[in-house]
């Protein structure tokens, strides 16, 4: 009887030990995580660019790390994301053009023509929504779209994931960025979003003049244009300093006959007809063509529109356009030229050529 009891105790002990043992794959994953922790990254933002009204948006679900940003940079320029290996995010968001496309509409891998101009990517860490119609609430959500869009990369996420898993370098890069080598679409867009949040631009002649105290950074004409921009021309009503942006979506009176409904396509609300995201005007001189449909090729054409062609009868005209509604904006030829000159002073050459933002391949 005693011998039988001893055997039972031994068997019970074996079962208990087995029950408490971890799954081998989970145990290995825990070892990998414990062996390598990504390095936290702090954005280098000048103090004058920070304010309490528009705080930076850094989601806790996707903290910035040195390794995550490095991976995101690789993926931003990775053509394996497209169906035929011909296109990356960087194909339509080119650094020399403030990460926008100099074409009116970008082309898909099969030659399909898009219907909206490719937006700039700069100081996006402050943005509340993305795409011209505001349909994405985060950079991560935005990054999902182009890969599967039939007018862009025309791929599927399972194909992308398999390609990256089979790559000789990506598994190790994902392990460094996230603690283990698992590769999926969530991690891909998180890494890309991390990289995009580092695309900061605050070193234009305007910045050096206003915030750096360098009175030689801008010409007399550019100074006159700056005073107009934030004064009687009312450009600053929608493009406020220091980011030269509003972080909203407005109907600026481009015309009521457009087939592009703008924000209304996303919300279904008539009041949103003709509303589009307000882009930053930083680096605007290198990011032509302009407006959501790329209708204007030059800044001079844009000035002509604001001076003479705003559709004041549009029932959805934004309240920010009150100065036009009441006839306060009256720009002569010299004032238009001064405004264009000032907008050239918003070009940050360092941002456009920074090797940390370029294709690492």
Active-site residues, by number, are 152
How far, in Å, CA of 47 to CA of 74, rounded? 29
Q: Output the six-digit token pair for 66.
A: 């040195």
CA dihedral 234, 239, 240, 241 (to 10 degrees): -120
Q: Output the six-digit token pair for 347.
A: 């070009």
How many beta carbons lie within 10 A of that of residue 4, not counting itself? 8
Residue partners of 254: CB distance under 8 A and separation at least 6? 274, 291, 295, 305, 311
Contact 266, 231 (CB under 8 A): no
Q: Output the six-digit token pair for 106.
A: 């970008």
Cis? peptide before 242, omega within 30° of 0 = yes
């Amino acid at each position: 009887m005693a011998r039988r009891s001893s055997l039972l105790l031994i068997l019970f002990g074996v079962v208990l030990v087995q029950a408490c043992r971890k799954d081998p794959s989970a145990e290995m994953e825990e070892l990998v995580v414990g062996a390598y922790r990504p390095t936290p990254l702090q954005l280098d933002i000048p103090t004058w660019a920070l304010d309490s009204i528009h705080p930076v948006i850094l989601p806790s679900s996707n903290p910035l790390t040195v390794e995550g940003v490095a991976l995101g940079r690789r993926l931003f320029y990775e053509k394996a994301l497209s169906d035929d290996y011909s296109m990356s995010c960087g194909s339509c968001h080119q650094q020399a053009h403030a990460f926008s496309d100099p074409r009116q509409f970008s082309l898909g891998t099969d030659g399909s023509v898009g219907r909206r101009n490719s937006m700039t990517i700069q100081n996006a860490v402050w943005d509340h929504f993305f795409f011209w119609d505001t349909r994405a609430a985060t950079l991560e959500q935005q990054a999902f779209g182009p890969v599967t869009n039939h007018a862009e990369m025309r791929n599927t996420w399972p194909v992308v994931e398999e390609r990256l898993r089979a790559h000789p370098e990506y598994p190790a890069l994902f392990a460094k960025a996230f603690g283990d080598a698992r590769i999926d679409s969530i991690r891909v867009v998180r890494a890309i979003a991390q990289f995009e949040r580092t695309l900061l631009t605050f070193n234009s002649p305007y910045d050096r003049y206003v915030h750096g105290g360098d009175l030689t950074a801008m010409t007399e004409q550019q100074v006159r244009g700056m005073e107009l921009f934030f004064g009687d021309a009312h450009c600053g009503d929608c493009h406020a300093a220091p980011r030269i942006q509003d972080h909203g979506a407005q109907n600026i009176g481009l015309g009521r006959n457009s087939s592009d409904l703008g924000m209304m396509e996303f919300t279904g609300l008539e009041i949103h007809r003709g509303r589009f995201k307000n882009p930053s005007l930083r680096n605007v001189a290198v990011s032509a063509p302009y407006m959501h449909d790329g209708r204007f090729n030059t800044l001079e054409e844009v000035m002509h529109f604001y001076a003479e062609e705003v559709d004041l009868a549009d029932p959805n005209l934004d309240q920010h356009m009150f100065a036009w509604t009441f006839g306060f904006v009256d720009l002569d030829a010299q004032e238009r030229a001064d405004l264009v000159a000032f907008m050239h002073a918003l070009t940050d050459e360092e941002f456009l050529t920074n090797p940390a933002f370029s294709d690492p391949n």
